[in-house]
Structure 1
Amino acid sequence: MVSPLVNSKKIGFLSFGHYGRSAGSRTQDAGESLRQAIELSVAAEEQGVAGAFFRVHHFARQGAAPFPLLAAIAARTSTLEMGTGVIDMRYENPLYLAEEAAATDLISQGRLQLGVSRGSPEPALNGASHFGYVPGEGETSADMARRHTELFREAISGAGIAPADLGGGRPGLLLPIEPQAPGLDRRIWWGAGTRATAIWAAEQGMNLMSSTLLTEDTGVPFDQLQAEQIRVYRQAWKDAGHDWTPRVSVSRSIIPLVSEEDHHYFGLRGQVEGKDQVGLLEGTLSRFGRSYIGEPDKLAGELARDEAVQEADTVLVTVPNQLGVNYNAALLGNVVRHVFG
């Protein structure tokens, strides 16, 4: 097995878990998508990949309920980290989430890396309200997500939550949620889309998960803006005085053109998708990172010049999951051996 620590960076994959009956899709339904995610995780571990991460979306044909999947992966692997990128905390019952996360982490023996955040735009109008969660008076949906996150983190840290029933209406000691998973509180990541939210994540004591999208734009290339985000995060972490070292991940679309199949699917895209994109997302000017598509040596050089990739300790490679297990296992093997190797 190739070492999962490549050039001092952990290389993981990030899957959106898409499924549907489109032409060429090898994940025709949700069952196929989930079962293939398990098999890809097993294959990825054999290729020397360090982590398997999954997007979480609601009211869409892609991954929505991560814990059955993560627990199944934990039971089939031995070194692979598994996690989310990210759970939308607007939709979550913080205490039930704490129980699910702890149980999954115990199955994995401490390999869960859980990404949480306010979440990305969803297709449903006020989707969280249909799950029973509505912001309080004077509170935004982002405020609600942070409030849910605070209670979740208290619960996994062993804080007392509910008073024990001693009978006769007498209040007892506060009971923590069970089970508890030691160390899980240091393996929570906040998905930050701006420099300000990265600073907030550092102050709260969470690892930083940054993706191929930032919901701000200063006119500089994406990798430079993201590198700045990472640097202000690390300074804020230092200023907060935390007594442990956090991790930082970035996501990249990386497609080495090695086989005829690679060229068939992505050769033309590689000729036109080499630049950042700037556009409006929910009315906010946002900058989207470029795709890296080309010969492995060329990609290795380009990624060596990507400032954010160099700043991060973990790189999550987004995979085209609808192309199936064999294709994506080969893609990840090529990334580990020929791009970052």
Structure 2
Amino acid sequence: MKRIGFLSFGHWSPAPGSRTRTAQDMLLQSIELAAAAEELGIDGAFFRVHHFARQQASPFPLLAAVATRTRRIEIGTGVIDMRYENPLYMAEEAAATDLISGSRLQLGISRGSPEPARNGAAAFGYVPAEGETDADMARRHTGDFRRSISGAEMVEADPRYAGGATGRLPVQPQSPGLSERVWWGAGTRKTAVWAAEMGMNLMSSTLLTEDTGVPFDELQAEQIGLFRQAWADAGHERPPRISVSRSVLPITDEEDQSYFGLSALRGGRDQVGRLDGTLARFGKSYVGAPDVLAGQLAADAAVQAADTLLLTIPNQLGVEYNAKLLDNVLQHVAPAIGWSPADSGLRN
């Protein structure tokens, strides 16, 4: 079964043409778009988390609000930077949100990406321990978080205030099954293998922080293959989930043409550059006539290898436009990659 969701980076600014001029605009429109997307048959609403920027930064209030306006779609993040998180508090927030949603939370997390703040996590109070890197600290936070949502006993009980209880206590609330719905945002083949060994689902984006000279989709498909092999070798009992992200912009009318016509004329292609001091390969955007995009996505090796496609959306163009964009993808492009309304759970 192929799933399709949208991924919003949650930008806002008062720039000309922006329909999300304030943080409030962005948040309220995100809720409205999730509700509209569910009506169209979209399978998931995912939101980027980015600190110290005019973007979505605090996912759990937003996801809880989306949960109350929807009944079917998955709700999730892509991704939470674990350098910034208090693992036990995050476990409480995540479990509460999952319970409100009826177990629909799909939680994408990672060690973080380049950001506008210098030592931003330190401003939140989190500094690597002696001998640790930022990545080590993010993985330590991840381990504590995953143990917490799995019901592990995390702190010694005080019998004076715990009804006479002794021993150790887990965080509350608990939401059964949430631990199986954690995804690791892997930017390399090596980190994808690590995620598989740890029993986390794989969330792969539109860039990889490595380059071997092959097209992006083939490099990403190789990453997915290594993940699947490592998952099998680890002996996990459940099957894994795997998502990839793509920018897919069908041009169907003059409005689409005005926004994206120049991009279509230039033609989509991979880009290679430096990101955070390492060589990275960036995937191309898919822009053009719907039938052309359908053929291109059907030939995308990583899209075919994944079970979930996350469509990155231009959220500053507003709810109405993005709903139209998503509908065009579902109607004219999605069937070519194996998606169908029956799979989505949509009922006419």
Same fold per superposition (TM over 0.5): yes
Are residues 142 and 299 of structure 1, via their aligned partners in 2, closer, same or farther at CA, if it must alter by over 3 Å? same
1:291 match = 285
Indicate conservation of the 8 Å contact 1:10/1:314, yes or no: yes
Among candidates 82, 93, 98, match of residue 86 of structure 2: 93
Answering whether residue 333 of structure 2 is matched by residue 339 of structure 1, we say: yes
- Secondary structure of 2:108 counterpart: strand
- Secondary structure of 2:228 counterpart: helix
- Secondary structure of 1:90 counterpart: helix
Q: What is the CA deviation profile of residues 195-223 of structure 1, one whole-angstrom value per residue up to 9, with x for unaligned ones?
A: 00000000000000000010000000000
Partner Cα separation in structure 2 for residue 59 and residue 167 of structure 1 = 42
Q: Which amino acid aligns with 2:186?
A: A
1:139 match = 132
Unaligned runs of 5+ in 2: 336-348
Indicate conservation of the 8 Å contact 1:40/1:329, yes or no: yes
Q: Which amino acid aligns with 1:65?
A: S
Answering whether residue 261 of structure 2 is matched by residue 251 of structure 1, we say: no
Q: Which amino acid aligns with 2:305?
A: E
1:57 match = 50
Calculate the aligned-residue CA RMSD, in Å.
1.1
Alignment of 1:68-87 (within 5 A): 68-87=61-80
Q: What is the CA deviation profile of residues 17-54 of structure 1, one whole-angstrom value per residue up to 9, with x for unaligned ones?
A: 00001110000010000000000000000010000000
CA displacement at 1:166 relative to structure 2 = 1.7
Percent of pairs with identical residues = 69
- Secondary structure of 1:287 counterpart: strand
2:193 match = 199
Partner Cα separation in structure 2 for residue 179 and residue 317 of structure 1 = 32
Q: Which amino acid aligns with 2:59?
A: P
Q: What is the CA deviation profile of residues 168-200 of structure 1, one whole-angstrom value per residue up to 9, with x for unaligned ones?
A: 9x9921111000001000000000000000000
CA displacement at 1:167 relative to structure 2 = 4.3
Q: Which amino acid aligns with 1:305?
A: A
Answering whether residue 89 of structure 2 is matched by residue 103 of structure 1, we say: no
Q: TM-score with structure 1 length normalisation?
A: 0.96
Partner Cα separation in structure 1 for residue 104 and residue 159 of structure 2 = 37
1:21 match = 14
- Secondary structure of 2:172 counterpart: coil
1:321 match = 315
2:340 match = none
Among candidates 256, 266, 274, match of residue 260 of structure 2: 266
- Secondary structure of 1:74 counterpart: helix
Q: What is the CA deviation profile of residues 72-120 of structure 1, one whole-angstrom value per residue up to 9, with x for unaligned ones?
A: 0000000011100000000000000000000000000000000000111
Q: Which amino acid aligns with 2:180?
A: R
Answering whether residue 173 of structure 2 is matched by residue 184 of structure 1, we say: no
Q: Which amino acid aligns with 1:19?
A: W
Unaligned runs of 5+ in 1: 1-7
1:46 match = 39
Alignment of 1:97-176 (within 5 A): 97-167=90-160, 172-176=166-170
- Secondary structure of 2:197 counterpart: helix
Partner Cα separation in structure 2 for residue 182 and residue 258 of structure 1 = 44
- Secondary structure of 2:114 counterpart: coil
CA displacement at 1:273 relative to structure 2 = 4.3
Partner Cα separation in structure 1 for residue 26 and residue 253 of structure 2 = 24
Structure 1 runs of 4+ with >3 Å offset: none
CA displacement at 1:129 relative to structure 2 = 0.1
1:4 match = none
